[in-house]
Structure 1
Amino acid sequence: MENPPGERTGSEDPPPERTGPWVAPGSAAAPRGLPSAPPPFPGPPPPQGPATGPWPPPYHQGWVPQPGWPPPRPRRSGARNVLFSTAVALTVAGAALAASVVVLVSTPREDPPTGGADLALYYDRNLTGVPEPASVDLVDHPLYSAPMPTGATCELPDLDVDSDASWLEFAEVTGECLDTLWAPVLNGLGLFPEAPEVGVSGSAPGSVPIDPDAYVLGYYEPDPLRITVVLPSVRTVDAGVPPQDRELIWFALMAHEYGHHIQNAAGMFELTHASVGEDSDQEMLRRSELQAECLAGAGMRAITGDEDALRVVNTYLNGGGDLDSHGSAANRSHWFEQGWSQETVDGCNTYDAESSRVS
């Protein structure tokens, strides 16, 4: 039966909308002075001294042009008023474009500078085409050439299995530790994934059937990006775990789910689970789950460096029965040890393994 993707089992608010009319900055034209010449006869000469009152000051309130005189020429409002008039008739984007065009047309073109590199020599016409979609090869992936993580320090908090808050704290600290541990490996491949959120839940996802005799201990979701620990299940399994080994075992659970996050960052998780449907072969799902178990072994060695942790995890977490979705107990232990002992991620290439090793 099929598991929810990535499940682990065991025995800037949007910007405010602009309101009101848009006014182009600096669109109001500065007042221009009137000609200094006196008005035509008749009428008294213009007043002397600084102008007072409304602008422009009239020369004579009662003066009117004489019959037969040509009408006065209309005042020029200035280039910025022309732009403002254009802006009123257009949208904001159109107004900005119009202003740019006016500037380009009215500005004299300068002679191009001489010397320097000819950029046309570096222009590649192929760049104008639509790029081909990236392809992901599950068997021959660049991830496999990366070194296993090393040298991380992580202080795991004590875990009170009866406290929801303690479980949440443990999961969050472990998640941050795994972020720090795997970042250099992923960054070296040019991958800079967002860190997954970590949480706890009182129930497992019920929309997808799972192995009937298995507990869903935790699961990974690529959207929303999240690792969740299922509290009722881990508490049930924890009843058979030695108290002194509790933190190691549940760190291994988190490391397994984080292994799915690494697969997701490398484009492998979606490709695998897209092929897993109701009628699909469970082998592809087992390859994904066993690879996550292998990556968990690598994380466990980098954090603890204690070979006794390898024995503890394979005894209490990977021991027990076989699972259609996660493989046999023997293969789960094998791949966890592979991750622990290998120097590169190629040691976790379950997609290139024989079927007997992913059964």
Structure 2
Amino acid sequence: MGVANAAAPSTAKASVVKEQAPPLGRAAATTSPLYRTGTLPAVRCTTGQIRAGSAASYRAFMTRVNHCLNLAWKTQFNKVKLPFSQPVLRFTTSKVTSPCGRWPGGAGGYYCSSNRTIYIGVFRDVLKSPYAPNHAQFMAHEYAHHVQHLAGIMNYYSQSIWRAKPSTKLAYSRRLELQADCLGSAFLRQISGDLPVEQEQWDAMIDWVVENGHKTWATNDHGRGPSQAYWMKRGFNAGSPSACNTWTAPSRTVA
């Protein structure tokens, strides 16, 4: 779940790498240089285990996954000399308000572009399930919104929905969220050596998403279950951002 605030000024600092600015406007989304970066690196990601009901083990696991995401996406951005900075990771036991507004309904966490912060809820219902790949996918999805922000995609999204009619806003939101599903799954593929995702487990995850992925959201702003599954499979099969250009995809795939 990403929450954008286009009015927030950029606070990114220049890297030691000779960088170039990301594309502006529609080009940021449709022809992003990230689509030409190839597969994400196979990062060594020693995540540890999540123990059911243990907030400490959940925080430790998600922190380690976040560290691996930092390494992987820094490499991708460096390939095309785009500026990169790490997001802030904040755990919370309550649905806090951020500079982007209230905690989105139905979300277990979200990314706020205004302060470049990923909020992860440490809630009782979350701690019931120790299934690590599912939580890693969730972390990678929220991190993908940070990637979209750095690449200029989030800004294009914010500009596109400004004063747009409700149906248009939902259509753009689906493209944004489904791209995050895809990018998250591409990362999950590349750490599967350390966080094994067995075929049977992956199939079960996809089947669940097909049937239930859309039920959390009151409006169709994240895509129907089959659409979420479609983009997750694309990302996981490719392990690369090249598979995740939802912005030029046919409408039927982002429904």
Task: Please indicate the TM-score interval, normalised by the length of the shorter structure.
Answer: 0.7 to 0.9
Q: 1:325 aligns with which of 221, 226, 240?
A: 221
More displaced stretch, 248-257 vs 309-318: 309-318
**CA shift for structure 1 position 133:** 10
Per-residue CA distance 1:91-120 (angstroms, 9 max, x = gap) = xxxxxxxxxxxxxxxxxxxxxxxxxxxxxx
**CA shift for structure 1 position 205:** 5.0
The aligned residue for residue 54 of structure 1 is none
Q: 1:292 aligns with which of 164, 180, 199?
A: 180
The aligned residue for residue 216 of structure 1 is 107
The aligned residue for residue 276 of structure 1 is 161
**CA shift for structure 1 position 5:** 0.8
Q: 1:185 aligns with which of 55, 70, 76?
A: 76
Per-residue CA distance 1:301-351 (angstroms, 9 max, x = gap) = 100154525324324456415341110110101100000112642210100
After superposition, the Cα gap between the structure-2 partners of 1:183 and 1:219, relative to the gap in structure 1 and judged at 3 Å, is same
Partner SS state of residue 199, structure 1: strand
Q: Which amino acid aligns with 1:220?
A: Y
The aligned residue for residue 125 of structure 2 is 236
After superposition, the Cα gap between the structure-2 partners of 1:264 and 1:180, relative to the gap in structure 1 and judged at 3 Å, is same
Between Structure 1 and Structure 2, how many residues are aligned? Answer: 223
Give the TM-score of the pair, scaled to structure 1.
Answer: 0.56
Residue 336 (structure 1) aligned with residue 247 (structure 2): no
After superposition, the Cα gap between the structure-2 partners of 1:318 and 1:189, relative to the gap in structure 1 and judged at 3 Å, is farther
CA distance in 1 between partners of 2:254 and 2:159 (Å) = 19
After superposition, the Cα gap between the structure-2 partners of 1:194 and 1:4, relative to the gap in structure 1 and judged at 3 Å, is closer
Structure number having the greater helix percentage: 2
The aligned residue for residue 143 of structure 1 is 34
CA distance in 1 between partners of 2:139 and 2:180 (Å) = 10
Partner SS state of residue 30, structure 2: coil
CA distance in 2 between partners of 1:133 and 1:267 (Å) = 6
CA distance in 1 between partners of 2:115 and 2:176 (Å) = 20
The aligned residue for residue 314 of structure 1 is 206
Give the TM-score of the pair, scaled to structure 2.
Answer: 0.77
After superposition, the Cα gap between the structure-2 partners of 1:318 and 1:221, relative to the gap in structure 1 and judged at 3 Å, is farther
After superposition, the Cα gap between the structure-2 partners of 1:277 and 1:165, relative to the gap in structure 1 and judged at 3 Å, is farther
Gapped runs of 5+ residues in structure 2?
Answer: 5-20
What aligned pairs does 1:258-277 form with structure 2 within 5 A after superposition? 258-276=143-161
Gapped runs of 5+ residues in structure 1?
Answer: 7-131
CA distance in 2 between partners of 1:295 and 1:133 (Å) = 18
| Structure of higher RCO (CA pairs closer than 8 Å, 6+ residues apart) | 2
CA distance in 2 between partners of 1:253 and 1:289 (Å) = 12
After superposition, the Cα gap between the structure-2 partners of 1:210 and 1:261, relative to the gap in structure 1 and judged at 3 Å, is closer
The aligned residue for residue 196 of structure 1 is 87
Which of the two has higher C-alpha Rg? Answer: 1
Partner SS state of residue 38, structure 2: coil
Q: Which amino acid aligns with 2:145?
A: H
